[in-house]
Structure 1
Amino acid sequence: MTNEDAMIACPQCDALYTARAPDLGEKAVCARCHTVLIAPRRNALLRVMALAVTVVILMAGATFFPFLSVNVAGLSNASSVFDAALAFMDGGAMMLLSVLVLGLIVLIPVLRAVLVLYVLLPLSLGRKPLRHARGAFRLSEELRPWSMAEIFVIGVAVALVKVSDLAQVGYGPAFWMFAALVLISVFQDGMMDRWTIWKTLDEADR
């Protein structure tokens, strides 16, 4: 094969295949590592956009609503993710840590969701992609490893195991929002057929 546009590489093992769109409901799977390469679904764009909007809404609430409350010897304190990030705002390296916490946990997941909406909204309406749609979708894919909301939830779960022996811990609404957000993000990434999106963007540029 010499036509690179007619080929697809497995994102896990880099095996090359001739790209051929399966029927709706079917999947093209890597023969070596069984990674799903192409999986067109009916109304997939609308579902991915709905999940992206849900991510933005949940992240807004999860950032500012109470996340955890701690009760020790009759004294209680509740804080949000935003409060926890501001606690590091003492200047120097701690301020950099605060910016990284907000960026990796809050801003990047929201930015990815907004970029997905920017790219998919015109496509779902059957219109020409907006300007720089290819760059926006590429950026959303490049940011995927840096979206660490799920890492934050895992870290909190580990910390709670140790803190629960020392104090009474209460879960605020933001905790459950974050948990739902992680699950929705996984569903969104699993439902998104990237090959079809790239193919649609390429055809629109011709």
Structure 2
Amino acid sequence: MMQTEPEDLAALPLTQLRACPHCDALYRLPTVRPRERAVCQRCGLVLMAPRARAFTRIVALSACALILLAVALFTPFLDLSAAGLHSDASIWDAAMAFSDGIMVPLSIAVAAFIIVIPALRLALIVYTVFPLIGGGAPAPHAARAFRIADDLRPWSMAEIFVIGVAVALVKIAGMASVTPGIAFWTFGVLVIVLIWQESFVDREQIWSALDAARPDRGQAPA
């Protein structure tokens, strides 16, 4: 991606300009084909990296992640046995473990970060991207929905939860017998699916499709 001279930028409409979100370098929006990348010349940040059939794959992987999250939510996550006592817990049980007294805010935060926000973000992405498959018109308020999904990205902490569980398992392995349940493996697959889904999400590609698919701008290619 080549940087445009300042006097040239002034003559371009805003829809043809893009600023690097890291260093604010301003560029003319190029045509980037699937498997190509547009990189900021100043800081090296990848600005655009469209993928072939990305919208179809994003929707499929997002729907898969929602199903995995639903399965993991209510099936046993860990089975603990120690001194003749036996206990199993689901992810929902873990989120509600601090739901009494002054620990209620902690319980709400855990439920939000590992359940509510990931599910909401996936649903918003499906709502935004699904109508764009095949060049369709965007759903009502799709731009707002995608903006919210993008804002929620740092607060979706399913991956952090898995890391925390792994650390906890190491600490308690010598005190109790720990058997991973269905939800444990489901959640592990969920994290892989989320990472895979994120690899297809090119924000510039989605924003361009939302803009181009408006009724007054014509139809965008899928």
Task: Specify the TM-score bucket, using the shorter chain as the normaliser.
Answer: over 0.9
What letter corresponds to residue 193 of structure 1 in structure 2?
D
Distance 1:14 1:73 in 2: 60
Give the CA deviation at 1:31.
3.0
Name the counterpart of 1:111. 120
| Alignment counterpart, residue 48 of structure 1, candidates 38, 51, 58 | 58
Q: Is the 8 A contact 1:71 1:167 kept in 2?
A: yes
Q: Is the 8 A contact 2:135 2:213 kept in 1?
A: no
Give the CA deviation at 1:28.
1.4
Aligned length: 205
Q: Secondary structure, in 3 states, of the residue corresponding to 2:98? A: coil
Name the counterpart of 1:8. 18
Q: Does 1:139 align with 2:139?
A: no
Name the counterpart of 2:220. none
Structure 1 unaligned residues grouped into runs of 5+: none
Q: Does 1:182 align with 2:191?
A: yes
TM-score, reference length from structure 1:
0.92
Q: Is the 8 A contact 1:104 1:148 kept in 2?
A: yes
Matches of residues 79-94 of structure 1 in structure 2 within 5 Å? 79-91=89-101, 93-94=102-103
Name the counterpart of 1:23. 33
What letter corresponds to residue 5 of structure 1 in structure 2?
T
Cα deviations by residue, 1:67-122 (Å, 9 ceiling, x for unpaired): 1111112322110011122222214x322221111111011111111111111111
RMSD of aligned C-alpha atoms? 1.6
Q: Is the 8 A contact 2:121 2:149 kept in 1?
A: yes
CA radius of gyration, larger in: 2
Name the counterpart of 2:4. none
| Alignment counterpart, residue 68 of structure 1, candidates 78, 82, 86 | 78
Structure 2 unaligned residues grouped into runs of 5+: 1-8, 217-222
What letter corresponds to residue 108 of structure 1 in structure 2?
I
What letter corresponds to residue 200 of structure 2 in structure 1?
M
Give the CA deviation at 1:203.
2.1
Name the counterpart of 1:197. 206
What letter corresponds to residue 25 of structure 1 in structure 2?
R
Q: Secondary structure, in 3 states, of the residue corresponding to 2:41? A: coil
Cα deviations by residue, 1:125-169 (Å, 9 ceiling, x for unpaired): 422111100000000000000001111111111111111121111
Name the counterpart of 1:124. 133
Distance 2:126 2:211 in 1: 18
Distance 1:189 1:29 in 2: 18
